[in-house]
Structure 1
């Protein structure tokens, strides 16, 4: 528990230093930083057997 409190205090200090330098604070967890690739085709073409059609 003490380690968690120490880490939280350190990250708070780092955040304050960033703000002093003019660097914006970290993005909240609900903001996407990368685009999400589309889902692959399902079922894959290798699974489909056209011999019975």
Structure 2
């Protein structure tokens, strides 16, 4: 039986760390950014980890 292909959409969005956690970028950073406050925009810069419940 052939190997299963990695979901290419997920491969572009998530990256595994050395400890096995999944890192992802925050949504909402593409366009229409003027509607957000500066504080919200700054907060969306940092990457976050996927919760264990969603692995």
Question: TM-score, normalising length from structure 1?
Answer: 0.24
- More helix as a share of residues: 1
- More strand as a share of residues: 2
Question: TM-score, normalising length from structure 2?
Answer: 0.23
